[in-house]
Amino acid sequence: MVPGGFSPERRPLSRRDYQLSENYAKHSLSVWEVISETDIDEAVLAIVSGGDHLEAIDVVLMSSDYLTEKGINCVRTNGSTPVGDLVEKHIDLSNLTYKSLGIVAYHIVDKINDQKVKRYTIRQLKEILNQAISQNRLTPDKLKDSIREKL
Amino acid sequence: MIDFGLKYQASIFLVANDITPTPDNITTLIDLFRDKELVPNTFREISPGSPAPRGRLRLSSPNNEWNIKIASMRIDIEKNPISLKENNLGNVNDFCLEVTDFFGRIISKFPKKANRVSLGTIFLLKEMAESNLSEVYPRLFKPPEFYATSPPFEWNWRSASRVPFISGEFNENLNVITQVNRAKVEIGLNDEISFSDRIQLSLDLNTSQENTEYRFDIDFITTFYQKISVFHDDLVVKITEFING
Amino acid sequence: MDNLRENTSTGTINIGLYEPEVFSEYQGFSITDKSATTEGLVDENFVNEERLKRLKKQFTRELITLIVDEDFEYGVDTKADALVRSQMRLNALATKSWLNGIFVENFSNIPVLLGILRVVARLDYSELYPESHIMAVAALSYKNNVEVQECGVRAFESWGTVQSLKILENLKVSTQWLQEYIDEVVSDLRKEYNVSTRQEN
């Protein structure tokens, strides 16, 4: 699982790291599911294609088994991405409480310590987007102007 | 007689178009003035040789008390008031000592000589009763009949003289420009606005522009500001005494 | 010398206008000459000056509040961005000066400083040059705050110009992860501009 676009390494997890999903108004963290580490670019594609600006982002790879085992409620919801085949890869870590948020936060810290964190520069994001466009998975007109202009 | 200072400005005229907003120059200047916590930023310079305004480097204190503006052919150091209650401008002699230090720092990193040096100040005099205020105009002017019989509520008196300025091997001419004007001013303090009819006094003391040779090093600049601050204070006393009658 | 005259626009003297921390009472003072002259009322300089005054008076507090209160996430547009864009459309020159002023006044206020840098990084390089350039360079030199330094790097990465490359390729920082990021951006920009590195013996 890859949470969307925050920099856990540089600041503690806080209320601002919640993302609103389509179906849950509060207390959810938005993540994207990948089959393996080699598929992280898919999650990045989902995140960046739905964004407003092309900016370097950090992604952390979490373990769904671990989170489920710890009682974190993982709900599959439609993700906000113009890449059609990735819409259903979106998951909300929902109904987070102070305690369960702490579990998620410590898990992220562990993963960072395990080097399961990667920064994608703007150039790398452009390559991912351009590849998706060339594969007809994404049409440029579905991107925000400020992103499309940079490709 | 003086209520508060509105601005002090010291300027040296030299070739500074190489001090552009490059990372090296910005970093050098940040380090030079780190103890003063001056922030690099820009100002727009309009010069005869340039059709469009150009961005030039400036260092400013966050409260705008100090501004060092590096234009293409001059460096201005200005000190601004930040409050009516605190007289942060201080006396001119202290200002001259500070600017000598600042100019010295810049010249140590960007070795240059100037061909002109100046000191400018603006003051607002204390409020005067209308009867006293109206006596200043005929003291300064010999007005034509209309203005003698209809005393103006606004006037502007400006004079420029030239006196020798000798320092070591340098035999220079000093322009002495004094401006006295009556102005209605709006003074804002803590969101309270008050209107006031005041006399404003401006002084501009500068080496003559005729000799364009770049000859003034930091030693001359230091001596200039030492001497000119004494001359300035003396002139202010004489002018304000004259205004008071 | 009339350099003091040069610095005063006709009819108006604006002295010591500044706004300290947004949440404190305004403690600056101003002097405005209310003389009877009507010179300069319709020229471009007057328009820009008036626009700048309005920005300072009406929008500084709003922008800073948006920066401080709104959640920020890289890649996501903010109300602060929208406010600055709308002001740029109305008067780019005045808006540049306005942002410049806020940057200087809040140089030691990290959250506001970061907010301004992030907004500026999202504008085109040419729109706000050279103010944006200087802000980003100042951020790179910021002592004791790696987040501010990172913001400077991000700005240059976002603009992606040859200037960006020249600035970043000579930059050395002590924080490892930041240096790795800088190195990666430099490598990206070199590929973009077909610049090869030369090994010198």
Query: In percent, how much of chain A has pLDDT > 70?
Result: 83
Using the Cβ of C193 and the Cβ atoms of chain A, whether some distance falls under 8 Å is answered with no
User: Which position has the token pair 């002699």?
Assistant: B93
* C129: chain B residues, CB-CB within 8 Å: 55
> How open is the CA angle C63-C65-C70, to the nearest 5 degrees?
100
Range scoring the smallest mean pLDDT among B1-5, B135-139, B160-164, B238-242: B1-5
How many Cβ atoms from other residues are within 10 Å of residue A70's Cβ? Answer: 13
Provide the sign of the torsion angle of the four alpha carbons A78, A81, A87, A89, taken in this order. negative
* Interface contact flag, A53 C76, Cβ < 8 Å: yes
Evaluate if residue C41 carries a pLDDT over 60. no
Using the Cβ of A9 and the Cβ atoms of chain C, whether some distance falls under 8 Å is answered with yes
CB B174, CB B198: distance < 8 Å: no
Report the amino acid identity of residue A13.
L
Return the residue of A nearest to C157 by Cα. A122
Q: CA A131, CA A140: separation in Å to the nearest integer?
A: 11
Q: CA B39, CA C103: separation in Å to the nearest integer?
A: 9
Q: Which of A13, A28, A71, A80 is nearest to A50 (CA)?
A: A80
> What is residue B189's predicted lDDT score, i.e. its pLDDT?
57
Tell me the mean pLDDT in the region B95-116: 97
User: Which position has the token pair 């990465």?
Assistant: C157
Confidence of residue A17 (pLDDT cuts 50, 70, 90): very low
> What is residue A2's predicted lDDT score, i.e. its pLDDT?
53
Helices (H), A7-148: 40-49, 64-69, 98-113, 122-134, 145-148
Gap from A54 CA to chain C (nearest CA, Å): 6
> E strands, chain B, where?
2-13, 39-45, 54-60, 66-70, 74-79, 116-125, 155-167, 170-189, 192-207
C170 against C15, higher pLDDT: C170
Phi, psi of B58 (to 5 degrees): -140, 150
Q: CA B232, CA B119: separation in Å to the nearest integer?
A: 9
**Phi/psi class of residue B8: alpha, beta or left (left: φ > 0; alpha: ψ in -120 to 50)?**
beta
Tell me the mean pLDDT in the region B2-14: 93
Evaluate if residue C201 carries a pLDDT over 50. no
> What is residue C16's predicted lDDT score, i.e. its pLDDT?
34
Q: Enumerate residues 6+ apart whose C-beta is below 8 A from A97.
A: A27
Evaluate if residue C18 carries a pLDDT over 60. no
Domain boundaries, chain A: 2-127
Return the residue of B nearest to C135 by Cα. B41
Evaluate if residue B111 carries a pLDDT over 60. yes
Average model confidence (pLDDT) across chain B: 90
Tell me the mean pLDDT in the region C10-33: 35
What is the maximum span of chain C, computed from C-alpha positions, in angstroms? 72
Evaluate if residue B213 carries a pLDDT over 50. yes
Average model confidence (pLDDT) across chain C: 79
* Interface contact flag, C18 B204, Cβ < 8 Å: no
* CA distances for B231 relative to B93, B125, B226, B244, C171, angstroms: 10, 19, 9, 20, 48
> What is residue B184's predicted lDDT score, i.e. its pLDDT?
82
B46 against A92, higher pLDDT: A92
Evaluate if residue B176 carries a pLDDT over 60. yes
Evaluate if residue B232 carries a pLDDT over 90. yes
Evaluate if residue C8 carries a pLDDT over 90. no
Give the orientation angle of helix C60-69 with respect to helix C110-121, to 10 degrees: 100
Asked whether the whole model's pTM tops 0.90, one would answer no
Tell me the mean pLDDT in the region B59-75: 94
> What is residue A1's predicted lDDT score, i.e. its pLDDT?
56
CB B225, CB B99: distance < 8 Å: yes
Domain boundaries, chain C: 3-192
Confidence of residue A8 (pLDDT cuts 50, 70, 90): very low
C-alpha neighbours within 13 Å on the C-beta side of residue B138: 12
Fold of C3-192: Leucine-rich Repeat Variant (1.25.10)
Return the residue of A nearest to C183 by Cα. A121
Confidence of residue C72 (pLDDT cuts 50, 70, 90): very high
Gap from A42 CA to chain C (nearest CA, Å): 17
Do strands B74-79 and B66-70 pair parallel, antiparallel, or not at all (unpaired)?
Answer: antiparallel
> What is residue A12's predicted lDDT score, i.e. its pLDDT?
36
**Tokens at residue A50, please?**
């739905």
Return the residue of C nearest to A47 by Cα. C75
> What is residue B11's predicted lDDT score, i.e. its pLDDT?
96
User: Which position has the token pair 């049409």?
Assistant: A139
Q: Ranked by mean pLDDT, which of B40-44, C70-74, C115-119 comes out on top?
A: C115-119
Q: CA A58, CA C181: separation in Å to the nearest integer?
A: 11
Q: Which of C38, C124, C49 is nearest to C88 (CA)?
A: C124
Query: In percent, how much of chain B has pLDDT > 90?
Result: 63
Q: CA B108, CA B233: separation in Å to the nearest integer?
A: 29
Evaluate if residue A81 carries a pLDDT over 50. yes
Residue A33 has what DSSP assignment?
A: -
Give the orientation angle of helix B92-109 with respect to helix B218-244, to 10 degrees: 160
Using the Cβ of B7 and the Cβ atoms of chain C, whether some distance falls under 8 Å is answered with yes
Evaluate if residue B159 carries a pLDDT over 50. yes
Give how far the C-alpha of residue B61 lies from the chain's centroid of Cα atoms, to the nearest Å. 18
